[in-house]
Every structure is written in structure tokens, then in C-alpha cells.
Structure 1
Amino acid sequence: MYTQVLIVLLVCVGFVYPNFPPPPPHGRRPPASRRPYTNLCEKVLGQKFLSHPTDCTKYILCIGKTLHNLNCGNKVWDETLDKCVEKGTTKGPDPCLKPKRWGPPQIYASPPRVPPGGRTATWRFAKPVCTAGSTRRIAHPTKCAQYYDCGSNRQEDWWGTHLRECPYPLLFNVRYAQCDHYSNVRCGRRTVPLDPCDYIANQCRTISCPPCIMRFGTCKGLPNGLHPWKNREETPHFLVCKDQRVVFHGKCMSPTPGYRFVFDPVIHTCLQPKDGYKFP
């Protein structure tokens, strides 16, 4: 009698409380499956603006496959005009009322490094660099001209939270925690920008902006000295290069008023054209 009752109780307990899998050894939980994140700029050629997936006061600038997370400050991003505008003045629907669309809630300012073995690294959530109350200046982990100013004014966070950039061609000196001449800075594994267009500050923020290389030129791969301005050949404009950096934007001036001189790309000097062109 008692044996039969005990068997019935054991069967009921096994039905109500099913057998769970045994816990992992050493008390560790199995790793949770991670959602794969894709680079929003993966298929972009040239540069392109995108609205931020979760914050209407931010926007994304794609320069090739490189993603830059930028900030409008007290304004909002208008994806119709591709620029920051005052709240309530957008051409289309209010961007702050739109539902979340795609992408992770926080995005790296640049792609993560490729781990050893050649496998492609996945995009992850960005971790805050500055702790509460900190006033430190911290070097960007991958870009030698950028740093985080933890004690800065948040209203100046145009490129990301506390993210700042040294003026061209300066780089961030970790030893002195300030921008310094590139010859005094050891970047280590951080990427060293050479062109003015490698700096975010020189990139376009509107679609009507001329391309960066037309406004600043490039000296990458060129020896020191005078060189023609790429894409502006047969004009008076030329570049002075040093250490593959643009150190001066020059313009040929004619000694005779009214006549035009151009920069010769062969002998690298200013000459008067053969046709003796005179300005009207």
C-alpha cells in the first residue's frame, strides 16, 4: 500500500518538475548566442550620409566602408536635406517619432580590428570610454589624430561622445595628453593620417559640399617639394608637400597684371601658357 502511494507521488513530482539539463561545470553559464551586426557602410562607394537608427540628434557619415558616428548637438538630422536642422523644421515627418529601424543601439566610430587568423571581426556594442566625473584625455584606440576629452562640453560632441580630433596635421601625443606636431608623436599601432581628407573635420557634411580632395589636395606617396594639385591640373594651384603631408596651398601669380600663370606638372614651376592668355 505505502509502496504504491510512494510510486504515484514520484511520478507526479517528475511530471510537475521535469528534469532540467545539468549545470555547466565550475558554475559557468553557456555563452548566449550573439546577433550578427553588419556594417551599415559596407556597400558605400565614396561618401554617404545615413540617419542614425535610434537617435534623431545623430547621423552617420560613410566614407567608403568606414563608419563615423556624428552628432547634431541641439538640432536633429533631416534625412531629406542631409543636414542638421532645428527641431520642428524638418521637411518630412518628425525623425524623433520614427520607430527604431536597423543596427545596434551604439556603433563604433570605426570598424574593429581583424583578429589573428584573418577572420572578419563582428561589430559590437561600443563601451563608454569616460567614467563619471573624469577629466582625462584618452587616446583613440585606432586613430592617432583622435582622442576622448572626458572633461569637455557635451554640446561640442559632433563626432561622438567626448570624441575630439586634432587639427591637421597634428596628432595626439599620449605622453603629454595633447595635440602635437606629428614628428613628436609615436602612434604605435594607431593609424597615422597623412591626407587632410583623413581627418573628419575636413569631410563634407552636406551634399552640396565639393569633394575633400578638390578643397585640400593630397601629398600621399609624393616626395618633399612642389607638386601639381590632383584634379586641378592646368590651373595656377599647386601643393607644397613634406613627409607626405600638405603643408601649403600655393597659387601662381603673374608678374604682369592681367596675365595668367599656371603650374607646370613636368618641371614643377609656374609658367605662362603658350597662348599668352590674358584675363578679360
Structure 2
Amino acid sequence: MLKDRDLMNGFCYPVLHLTECIFPYLFSVDTLQCENFTDVKCGSRYEEKYECNYGRISHSRPCNSHPPLGPTCGDFVPDCIGDPDGLLEDDRKKGSPCYKICFKERVISRDCCPKNDTWRTYTFPYNGKCVPSYEIPASENSNGLLPSCIGKADGSYQFHDRPCDAYFTCKNGTARGIKCHQGKLFDVNTGTCVKDAHCRGLV
């Protein structure tokens, strides 16, 4: 086997005859090649789940740089160890729109949530989806702009920090953000979106 120059020993020399699967693949003793981790049974062999702990990444820094110079893989690449499956906030970029998708404690995808054209605002990871700020409770998430319904009677309310193109409802203490359809505004008298609405604080 050719030596893999990305795999170095402690003295920064390539380790002869050693190669490594690319994350998240694992070596199969059945096929004698790298396979998707979902198709490999490691048995008693150690099973690495974090991309930054793969040898070609953990050793891809300048030789003899102890401690590593500048940012490391772990500063940018999230992990899913101990996390449930699904879309979650990128724990390396808290407060940002960025997310990771976990499956069997591995990051299988990462990206950032898109801007929402309907609300004309950014979306953020929340409950397994990219959700507009005005649909995320402010009490549960730092990016949320949906007010609390604590102390409010059931009904419809105007957002205090945006035009009358949207409103939120309270029902049994639970808030829900609603965006009016194009051409309609929230009417404080009817509590719904209508044309030619009577709206306080329209900007």
C-alpha cells in the first residue's frame, strides 16, 4: 500500500503502509475496504464518531507545532456525540443561523439556515427546522422574537417591533407568530389580516 502523507507519527514522518478511511467511512473486515459507517459492524474495534479525531485531520497541522498554531479543526467543526438525530444548532457557532445534522452521533451535514422571504428575516435552527425569528419564542431562544403570552388573555396581538404585516396569537399561554398575506395588514379591531386595516404604529 502507498503511504498516506496525511498520516504522520509524532516525529512528523509518514507512517509506512498506513492509510485511513475518510470521515464518516469505516473499514470493513468483510469487504476489506472503506464503507459507509451504517454498513460496518466494528465489533470490539474502536469506532470514531468525530471528524476532527480522524488521523488525517488531527495531524494536518505544521510539524512540531505544539501547541497548534492558530485555530484547530475543533474550533470550526461541530460534533454530535451525545446528541439526538436531526437538525440542531451548530454548537461551535452559537447564536448564528448555522446548523448541523446529526445521525448516529455523527455530523452528516452542516450549513446555515436561509433567509425567509415571507417574513423578510433570517431563520435559525429550532425544533429540528430552520424557523423565522418571529416564530421562535424569545423566552426559549436568544434568536427568538416571538413574545411571551404569560399574563395575556387568549387573542391576537400586534408585534411591537415590526410593521402591521404580522401579528401573534395567544392560546392557553402558547404564542404563535402569523404573517399576513401580501396586501393585507393586521387590524387591531378584528384581530385578523384585512385590506385597509386599522393598524397602530404602522411604519
TM-score by length of 2: 0.52
- Take 2:19 and 2:49, find their aligned partners in 1: how far apart are those partners? 18
- Take 2:70 and 2:34, find their aligned partners in 1: how far apart are those partners? 27
Deviations 1:204-253 (A, max 9, x none): 51434423233220111111111111131110110011111111102111
Equivalent position to 1:168, from 13, 23, 27: 23
**Any conservation in 2 of the 1:264–1:271 contact (CA below 8 Å)?**
no
- Take 2:77 and 2:36, find their aligned partners in 1: how far apart are those partners? 19
What's the secondary structure of 2:116's corresponding residue?
coil
Deviations 1:150-188 (A, max 9, x none): x22x47373322111101000001121100011221212
The alignment status of 1:239 with 2:100, answered yes or no, reads: yes
**Any conservation in 1 of the 2:81–2:106 contact (CA below 8 Å)?**
yes
- Take 1:156 and 1:211, find their aligned partners in 2: how far apart are those partners? 19
- Take 2:43 and 2:115, find their aligned partners in 1: how far apart are those partners? 46
Q: Which runs of 5+ in 2 are unaligned?
A: 9-14, 63-67, 134-142, 146-160, 163-203
1:185 aligns to what? 40
**Any conservation in 2 of the 1:241–1:248 contact (CA below 8 Å)?**
yes
What's the secondary structure of 1:261's corresponding residue?
strand
- Take 1:235 and 1:223, find their aligned partners in 2: how far apart are those partners? 20
- Take 1:239 and 1:181, find their aligned partners in 2: how far apart are those partners? 19
1:248 aligns to what? 109
- Take 1:242 and 1:157, find their aligned partners in 2: how far apart are those partners? 27
1:205 aligns to what? 61
Deviations 1:120-170 (A, max 9, x none): xxxxxxxxxxxxxxxxxxxxxxxxxxxxxxx22x47373322111101000
- Take 1:208 and 1:256, find their aligned partners in 2: how far apart are those partners? 41
User: Judging changes above 3 Å, is the alpha-carbon distance between structure 1 residues 177 and 229 closer, same or farther for their aligned structure 2 residues?
Assistant: same
Letter in 1 for 2:5: E
What's the secondary structure of 1:166's corresponding residue?
coil
The alignment status of 1:214 with 2:75, answered yes or no, reads: yes
Letter in 2 for 1:168: F
**Any conservation in 2 of the 1:157–1:163 contact (CA below 8 Å)?**
no
Please show how residues 105-144 of structure 1 align to structure 2 within 5 Å.
Answer: none
User: Judging changes above 3 Å, is the alpha-carbon distance between structure 1 residues 224 and 253 closer, same or farther for their aligned structure 2 residues?
Assistant: same
**Any conservation in 2 of the 1:173–1:179 contact (CA below 8 Å)?**
yes
Query: Which structure is higher in helix share?
Result: 1
Root-mean-square deviation (CA, aligned residues, Å) is 2.7
**Any conservation in 1 of the 2:28–2:35 contact (CA below 8 Å)?**
yes
Which has the higher mean CA deviation after the structures are superposed, 196-205 or 244-253? 196-205
Q: Which protein shows a greater Rg?
A: 1
- Take 2:52 and 2:4, find their aligned partners in 1: how far apart are those partners? 24
**Any conservation in 1 of the 2:86–2:128 contact (CA below 8 Å)?**
no
TM-score by length of 1: 0.39
Q: Which runs of 5+ in 1 are unaligned?
A: 1-150
The alignment status of 1:158 with 2:7, answered yes or no, reads: yes
What's the secondary structure of 1:213's corresponding residue?
helix
**Any conservation in 1 of the 2:4–2:18 contact (CA below 8 Å)?**
no
Question: % of aligned pairs identical?
Answer: 26
> Would you say how many aligned residue pairs link Structure 1 and Structure 2?
124
**Any conservation in 2 of the 1:237–1:262 contact (CA below 8 Å)?**
no
